[in-house]
Structure 1
């Protein structure tokens, strides 16, 4: 399977570097063009059979996120390319949208392209692919509305992903290499990713890691006690230990979030 791609980046060096990496290591990808602005990208997507866009975030006039409405209407997949920006990365991670950090690592590039090919195979028609794109990018736009907080999280599964409003998550626990999400409708979702990744996504959004194996949503906290070790109880009546190492951070978070 092959895929037609477009590189969108205002920096000539970044464009050439990515072009040579793809040509040298990713034979499944055919580069159909290189443009240096979102405006030119819009024209190219409409005129050529573009299936994948490598999209820089930080560009003058219009940043990469300005292209989202155009991508939602099409069956075009997107891989964002960016220098480190923790808030943008949190939004991308939470929305299950692929990204590459500059300078781009070859193995990361291969992995991102493999995912793009998977999405192409998963979508049997342009209509299905457009629907998948639209859902992921809608989630990303919501998360970008307030760059400091995450409102939606996309959890991958074997058939694609499931979009959750984070307010529906009571707590998340680690189970070996998996993370188990416990929801307010009594359902559980098991995801094959480490808890650490979700700690980074959910920080500053009302969640607190209280133990190496537990993240809780503070909105569901009902009480805590230090009678026999620090224990918290949540609204579903579940009880969770707060580790000694995280106790002071937890209490400080409580103080900041529940000021009278």
Structure 2
């Protein structure tokens, strides 16, 4: 649902648009109605508004004077006016659409559908940007990460990184093997966790394996290099990662001694 406000100084125009939206646009939730730009500012300040149906020619401040506030609160505008000479200026104000009064029902439906698609995509992009920003922050502080949240199908499991024995790739999924014997399968590729987890403790030993060095018991090269974990599991080390693995072992040993 798009949280929407109607801004128009004419009572008939406000009520007409309200009933058209209620009757023909299921995806619209009308959060308020304003008779002026000043009232619209108050609604924007106190509500999360996705979409504004905004009249242009109003006494006092005209609709264009609300645009800075629209941008500040990340809302979007469909202009409604009886005067088509404003069309070019509406385009420059980045309006989603421009409807002439009396408003045609079909044109209104098209405008709302366009707004729903645009705003939904915009929210997805903002959400993606937020996730990337959070990931970047985690990467910058990855030596400090001690817990990660993993989606478990019903919610999220908060897992201490010290409880992760190893992570195995399964196509586009990552399977976490935990010290209590549980496994959690996550719909993310192994690369994301390779970048996220602290590299002094975790090492990619194969295209399909990340190992927590705290659980390493021994490693050998009897049948190609492999590691043996404290729980008895054996995992292959790929040739291309063998030298990197050896360097990690040296660094890990210097930090942890003979633990």
TM-score, scaled relative to structure 2? 0.47
Q: Higher RCO, 1 or 2 (CA under 8 Å, sep at least 6)?
A: 1
Q: Which has the higher Rg, Structure 1 or Structure 2? A: 2
